[in-house]
Amino acid sequence: AQSVTQLGSHVSVSEGALVLLRCNYSSSVPPYLFWYVQYPNQGLQLLLKYTTGATLVKGINGFEAEFKKSETSFHLTKPSAHMSDAAEYFCAVKKAGGGYQKVTFGTGTKLQVIP
Amino acid sequence: DGGITQSPKYLFRKEGQNVTLSCEQNLNHDAMYWYRQDPGQGLRLIYYSQIVNDFQKGDIAEGYSVSREKKESFPLTVTSAQKNPTAFYLCASKGEGAREQYFGPGTRLTVT
Shortest distance, CA A24 to any CA of chain B (angstroms): 15
Q: How far apart are CA B111 and CA B16, in angstroms?
A: 9
pLDDT at A1 over 80: no
Rounded Cα distance between B39 and B18, Å, is: 23
Mean pLDDT, range B76-98, rounded to an integer: 94
Average pLDDT over residues B24-43: 94
Asked if A51 lies within 8 A of B50 by C-beta distance, the reply is no
CB contact under 8 A, A90 and B43: yes
**The pLDDT of residue B44 is above 70:** yes
Compare CB distances from B104 to A41, A43, A46 and report the shortest one's residue: A43
Q: What is the mean pLDDT of residues B43-47?
A: 96
How far from B97 is each of A97, A109, B62, CA to CA, in Å?
Answer: 10, 29, 30
| Separation in Å, CA of B18 to nearest CA in chain A | 23
Q: Of residues A1 and A104, which shows the higher confidence score?
A: A104
Strands A73-78 and A64-68: antiparallel
The reply to whether residue A103 touches residue B104, judged by beta carbons under 8 angstroms, is: no
A105, B47, B71 from B54: Cα distances, Å: 24, 11, 10
Quote the CA–CA distance of A33 and A51 in Å, as a whole number. 7
Dmax (CA) of chain B: 42
Q: Which residues pair with B54 in a beta bridge?
A: B51
pLDDT above 70 (res B1): no
- Percent of chain B residues past pLDDT 70, beyond the cut: 99
8 A C-beta contact, residue A28 and residue A34 = no
Tell me how far apart the alpha carbons of residues A73 and A33 are, in angstroms, rounded to a whole number.
Answer: 10
- pLDDT for A38: 97
User: Measuring CA to CA, which residue among B63, B2, B50, B58 is closest to residue B34?
Assistant: B58
Q: What is the per-residue pLDDT across A22-77, written as a single tens digit (0 to 9) for each?
A: 999 998 788 999 999 999 989 999 999 999 888 999 999 999 999 999 999 999 99
Backbone dihedral angles phi then psi of residue B55, each to the nearest 5 degrees: -155, 160
